[in-house]
Amino acid sequence: MKTQTRVVVIGGGIAGCSTLYHLTQEGWSDVVLVERNELTSGTTWHSAAQVTNFGMNQTMVGLKTHSINLYKELRDDPEYPVGYNHGDGGIRLANTEAQMEGYRHFASMARGMDVEFEVIDAQECARRHPLLSTDNLIGGLWDGNDGDIDPASLCQALARRARQAGAEVYRNTPVTGLTQHKDDSWTVHTDQGDIDCEIVVNACGYRVNEVGAMMGVHHPVASMEHQYFVTEDIPAIIEAGHRMPLIRCPISDYYSRQEKNGLLVGFYEQDCKTWGMDGIDPNFVNALCPDDLDRVMDVLEGAFARMPALADVGIKNVVNGPITYTIDGAPLVGPIPNKRNAFCIIGLRAGLGEGGGHGWMLAQQIVHGEACYDTWCIDPRRFTGHANVEMTALKAIEDYQNEFRFHFPNEHRPAARNAKTTPLTPALAAEGAEFTVVNGWERAEFFKPDPDFHVTHGFCFDESFDIVAKEVATVQNAVGLTEVNGFNRFELTGPDAQNFLDRMICGRLTRKEGRVGLAYLLNTHGMLKAEATIANLPASDRGPARIWYGSAAAAEFHDMDWLQSNLRDDEDVTIRSLTNDQTILVLAGPKARAVMQSVSREDWSAKGFPWLSVRECFIGYAPATVMSVSFSGELAYEIHVPNASLYAAYLALRGAGKAHGMGLFGALAVDSMRMEKGYLHWKADILTEFDPFETGLERFVKLDKPEFVGKAALEARYAKGPSKQLVTLKLASTNAAAHGGASLMSKGKVIGTVTSGDWGHRTGLNIAYAFVDPDFTALGTTVEIDVLGTLIAAEVIDKALYDPENLLVRN
Q: How far is Cα 260 from Cα 237, in angstroms, rounded to an integer?
A: 9
Looking at residue 330, the DSSP 8-state letter turns out to be S
Cα–Cα nearest to 100, from 55, 128, 140, 61: 140
Q: How far is Cα 277 from Cα 316, in angstroms, rounded to an integer?
A: 30
Contacts (Cβ under 8 Å, ≥6 apart) of 493 = 544, 545, 546, 547, 573, 574, 576
Helical (H) or strand (E) element with 220? none
493 class by beta-carbon count within 10 Å (0-12 exposed, 13-18 middle, 19+ buried) = middle
Question: Which pLDDT score is estimated for 350?
Answer: 87
Strand-pairing partners, residue 577, are 490
Cα–Cα nearest to 744, from 760, 755, 759: 755
Contacts (Cβ under 8 Å, ≥6 apart) of 121 = 138, 139
Q: What is the 3-state secondary structure (H, E, C) of 539-584?
A: CECCECCEEEEEECHHHHHHHHHHHHHHCCCCCCCEEEECCCCEEE
**Do the Cβ atoms of 587 and 595 come closer than 8 Å?**
yes
CA-based diameter of the chain, in Å? 85
Cα–Cα nearest to 88, from 317, 229, 255: 255
CB atoms within 10 A of CB 198: 16
Q: How far is Cα 323 from Cα 206, in angstroms, rounded to an integer?
A: 7
Contacts (Cβ under 8 Å, ≥6 apart) of 694 = 722, 723, 724, 725, 726, 771
Burial 570-603 (b: 16+ CB within 10 A, else e): eeebebebbbbebbbbbbbbbbbbebbebbbebe
Which amino acid belongs to residue 280? Answer: I
Half-sphere exposure of 686 (CA within 13 A, CB side): 20
Strand-pairing partners, residue 211, are none
**Do the Cβ atoms of 646 and 422 come closer than 8 Å?**
yes
Low-confidence ranges of the chain (pLDDT < 70): none
Q: In angstroms, what CA-CA distances link 471 with 425, 483, 767?
A: 19, 14, 18
**Do the Cβ atoms of 223 and 325 come closer than 8 Å?**
yes
Q: How far is Cα 425 from Cα 445, in angstroms, rounded to an integer?
A: 12
Which amino acid belongs to residue 365? Answer: Q
Contacts (Cβ under 8 Å, ≥6 apart) of 330 = 56, 60, 347, 377, 378
Long-range Cβ contact pairs of 565-570 (< 8 A, separation 24 or more): 565/340, 566/503, 566/504, 566/709, 567/500
Which amino acid belongs to residue 778? Answer: A
**Do the Cβ atoms of 52 and 255 come closer than 8 Å?**
no
Helical (H) or strand (E) element with 667? helix 667-677
Half-sphere exposure of 728 (CA within 13 A, CB side): 20
The helix/strand/coil state of 78 is coil
Helix count and strand count (H, E) for the chain: 19, 39
The helix/strand/coil state of 702 is coil
Q: How far is Cα 75 from Cα 623, in angstroms, rounded to an integer?
A: 66
Looking at residue 700, the DSSP 8-state letter turns out to be G
Contacts (Cβ under 8 Å, ≥6 apart) of 714 = 506, 522, 526, 691, 692, 693, 701, 703
Contacts (Cβ under 8 Å, ≥6 apart) of 657 = 479, 481, 595
| Paired sense of beta strands 662-664 and 725-731, if any | unpaired
**Do the Cβ atoms of 589 and 476 come closer than 8 Å?**
yes
CB atoms within 10 A of CB 72: 16
CB atoms within 10 A of CB 518: 18
The helix/strand/coil state of 469 is helix
Q: How far is Cα 137 from Cα 119, in angstroms, rounded to an integer?
A: 13
In this prediction the pTM is 0.97
Question: Which pLDDT score is estimated for 635?
Answer: 98
**Do the Cβ atoms of 375 and 345 come closer than 8 Å?**
no
CA angle 32, 36, 42 (to 5 degrees): 105
Residues in the chain: 811
The helix/strand/coil state of 186 is strand
Q: In angstroms, what CA-CA distances link 628 with 588, 640, 708, 810?
A: 10, 11, 27, 9
Sign for the pseudo-dihedral over CA of 374, 378, 381, 383? positive
Q: How far is Cα 318 from Cα 316, in angstroms, rounded to an integer?
A: 7
**Do the Cβ atoms of 478 and 589 come closer than 8 Å?**
yes
Q: How far is Cα 46 from Cα 660, in angstroms, rounded to an integer?
A: 65
The helix/strand/coil state of 407 is coil
